[in-house]
Amino acid sequence: MTLFDARQLTWPRTRELAEAGTVALLPVGSTEAHGPHLPLSVDVVIAEEVCRRVAARLSRDVVVFPPVAYALTDFAAPFAGTVTLNADVARQMLEGILRGIVSGGFHTIAVVNHHLEPAHFRVVHEAAKAVQGGTARVLVPDHRRAPTGPLLGHEFMHGGSHAGRYETSLMLAAAPSLVNVAAMKALPTLEVDLPGVIKGGAKNFLECGGPDAYFGAPAEATAEEGERLFTIITDATVASIEAALT
Ligand SMILES: [Zn+2]
């Protein structure tokens, strides 16, 4: 249905939309290093693009709130430009934003998070749970989980879901002007089982064996693959929101 950008709405129009059962979407990303070929804004760009695609497909109108561009991002902290918040600050910020949206009268809010650091995703789930209640449903569609995660490919599940083929393909589809294609094509594949080394105690991307803040195979990324991945993510996000609306 129709996408309304909260940055362009007045408060009376926002109230009208909330009272009409419009769904609120909150895109969440981070400001963090994504290899030498992608900008710091990758997670925000992807989250906003998913919101646009979800709005086009959903059976209700949608208000997209301004994105959350800062997060807990300890793994990329050694790299210039990364801004990390501690877990308490990040949780309180997200809770505050979600409470603000709920107090405006929205009953269904979906947090569209595309910063996948496990500790951060935990914070997102915790903040949503804290605000959830009464007439407010705060959903956190989680595309890491089955059945969606495995559809996103081996690299996503077991390798470089950070600035590799997966994220680079999404960026080529959503914002190709932000991808340095020459730098991307020059990057050798870096096979690291990121979930495995994180479980093993690695605390940042350097300790994970990623000295340039990327993993996987960015050189293999294509816009076509990005389109395919966006469709899978959008399908899953739409399904989880529609399930809550019925
Ligand atoms: Zn990312």
Ligand 1 geometric centre to CA of 83 (Å): 13
What does the DSSP 8-state code read for residue 77?
T
Ligand 1 geometric centre to CA of 63 (Å): 24
Residue 134 backbone class (left: φ over 0; alpha: ψ -120 to 50; beta: rest) = left
Mean pLDDT of the chain: 94
Is residue 65 predicted with pLDDT exceeding 80?
yes
Give tens-digit pLDDT for 201-224: 999 999 999 999 999 999 999 999
Ligand 1 geometric centre to CA of 16 (Å): 35
Is residue 134 predicted with pLDDT exceeding 90?
no
pLDDT of residue 48: 98
pLDDT of residue 148: 84
Ligand 1 geometric centre to CA of 145 (Å): 17
Ligand 1 geometric centre to CA of 111 (Å): 16
Q: What contacts 47, CB < 8 A, 6 or more positions away?
A: 27, 28, 29, 67, 112, 113, 114, 115
The domain segmentation of the chain, as residue ranges, is 3-245
Ligand 1 geometric centre to CA of 156 (Å): 11
Query: 3-state class of 93 per DSSP?
Result: helix
Ligand 1 geometric centre to CA of 117 (Å): 8
* Residue 100 in tokens: 């603000």
Look at the alpha carbons of 113, 69, 103, 86 in this order and tell me if their dihedral is positive or negative.
Answer: positive
66-75, 138-147, 148-157, 236-245: least confident range = 148-157
Ligand 1 geometric centre to CA of 114 (Å): 7
pLDDT of residue 159: 63
Ligand 1 geometric centre to CA of 100 (Å): 26
Ligand 1 geometric centre to CA of 163 (Å): 6
Ligand 1 geometric centre to CA of 154 (Å): 17
What's the whole-number mean pLDDT along residues 176-198?
Answer: 94
**CA atoms of 34 and 45, how far apart (whole Å):** 12
DSSP string, 131-180: H-BTTBEEE---TTSTTHHHHT-HHHHHS-TTTSHHHHHHHHHH-GGGS-
18-32, 35-49, 185-199: least confident range = 185-199
Kindly state which CATH superfamily the domain 3-245 is placed in: Creatininase (3.40.50.10310)
Confidence at 160, pLDDT banded by 50, 70, 90: low
Ligand 1 geometric centre to CA of 182 (Å): 20
Ligand 1 geometric centre to CA of 178 (Å): 14
Ligand 1 geometric centre to CA of 28 (Å): 11
Ligand 1 geometric centre to CA of 32 (Å): 8
Ligand 1 geometric centre to CA of 162 (Å): 5
